[in-house]
A and B are shown apart, each in its own frame.
Chain A
Amino acid sequence: MTSTADRPPAPEHSSGPLSPHLQIYRPQLTSVLSFAHRLSGIALSVYSVVLVAWLMAAAAGSGPFSSMQAVMQSLGGQVLLGAGVFCFFLHLCGGIRHLFWDAGYGFELTNIYVSGWAVVAASVALTALAWLASSKM
């Protein structure tokens, strides 16, 4: 048995395997809501292009505007719009939660969970409200 003095020094970096992370980590409200916030942000970036396109169509004349309206009023368009509204409210409520954290409030674990569920509930409620309101117009 060689003593530690005889063995060559251990290499600075192990060449072993990397332990699994995303594949085995339990999904929790913290990580899932954070990912949803990021995903809704990316989706909203795409919707911003749609907003600019809508403004361009309005500036171009009633012809392009009507074709844009037709697309938005189709079934696919309405589904995408509904998803967009949900993403908007999710990112908005999540964003307000983030701003509270940046100000220093709401870091205790119970508050994190209460505010997290509140964000989910508020997004769903506001989306439903928006759809009800627009169907009445």
Chain B
Amino acid sequence: MIIRSSSQVPRKSLLERFPVPRNFGVSPRSRIVPGRTWPAPEDATRVQTFDIYRFDPESGGNPRIDSFEVDLDDCGPMVLDVLIWIKNKVDSTLTFRRSCREGVCGSCAMNIDGTNWLACTRFVAETRKRATIYPLNNMRILKDLVPDLRHVFAQYNLIEPWLKTRTPAPEKERLQSPAERQEIDGYWECILCFCCTSGCPSHWWNADRFLGPAVLLQAWRWLVDSRDEARGERLDELEDPFRLYRCHTILNCTRTCPKGLNPGKAIGGIKKLLLERKT
């Protein structure tokens, strides 16, 4: 079920009960090996262990899992606070992206306890007893928890996320009624954290050709913007068995969006528009 409070977190997840061989079908250089354990300071009372994915590009080895025992009384309530505590007090080489610490920049997106979320808005109290922190799924890793987002941003560039008009610019603004402005509500708020795209199984199998929920949500945002005049061209670019139609309505994206947006609904809207112009 959708978890609304820490009391609803299952005591033992399915993955803990039936563990999947971690390195099944994984290429040799992506295989994860066990790492080292970093014990908590002696006087710590509230301690929680965090298993964190590490990768050092300079050493050239395989990625590993380091276990950090964290003094929860010494750091803030969010998972990001834990990461910062580890970086300050235990291992300064732990590398991760972060900026706003309030869930609006999208930098600290990562896989916490099996689902993708922003580290700065995920309470430590809602994590498992032995929390796991992995980087966003199916991404090339630059270092530790930092994925290479160049490909997904290139896919974003592909849908031309800017206003495309032919009528000359008016003296002041291009006008839009409040009802028309409401059409893009729920889509303009996307912070491009890519939690949804990296959680989409279809994107795992077809990352090079399938655009993914984040990019398609933005495509929808520009399609329904009443000021845009290139709806047909945008739909032409999207109508492709791989770019759009690899979406099989799995809906992992809507489930995982940390901003509560609905990429599945946006993609459903695009498919409806494509059908409308055909019939």
Contacts and interface: CB of A to CB of B under 8 A. Distances in A.
Interface of A: 12-28, 30-31, 34-35, 38, 98, 101-104, 107-110, 112-113
A17 B62 contact: yes
B143 to A, nearest CB: 8
By secondary structure, the A interface counts as loop
B113 A18 contact: no
A107 B138 contact: no
Tell me which of B23, B115, B142, B250 has the highest count of chain A C-beta atoms within 10 A of its own C-beta.
Answer: B250
Contacts of B251: 30, 34, 107, 112
A18 B272 contact: no
B66 to A, nearest CB: 15
A109 B22 contact: no
B134 A112 contact: no
Given A25-B199, A26-B115, A112-B255, A20 B32 contact: yes
B24 A19 contact: no
Given A16-B57, A31-B250, A107-B254, A113 B2 contact: yes
Contacts, number: 137
7 contacts: A21-B201, A22-B201, A23-B22, A101-B249, A101-B268, A103-B272, A109-B254
B250 A26 contact: no
Given A20-B134, A23-B24, A107 B30 contact: no
Contact of B150 (A12, A23, A27): A12
A18 B15 contact: no
Interface of B: 1-2, 13-15, 20-24, 26-27, 29-32, 53, 55, 57, 62-63, 111, 113-115, 132, 134-143, 147-148, 150-151, 198-199, 201, 204, 248-252, 254-255, 262, 264-265, 268-269, 271-272
A44 B27 CA distance: 33
B63 A17 contact: yes
B140 A16 contact: yes
Contacts of A34: 201, 248-251
Given A18-B140, A30-B252, 12 more contacts: A13-B151, A17-B140, A18-B26, A19-B147, A21-B201, A22-B204, A23-B22, A24-B132, A98-B249, A107-B251, A112-B254, A113-B1
Contacts of B2: 109-110, 113
Contact of A107 (B53, B199, B264): B264
B132 A19 contact: no
Nearest to A17: B30
A104 B250 contact: no
A22 B248 CA distance: 17
A17 B271 CA distance: 34
Contacts of A23: 20-24, 26
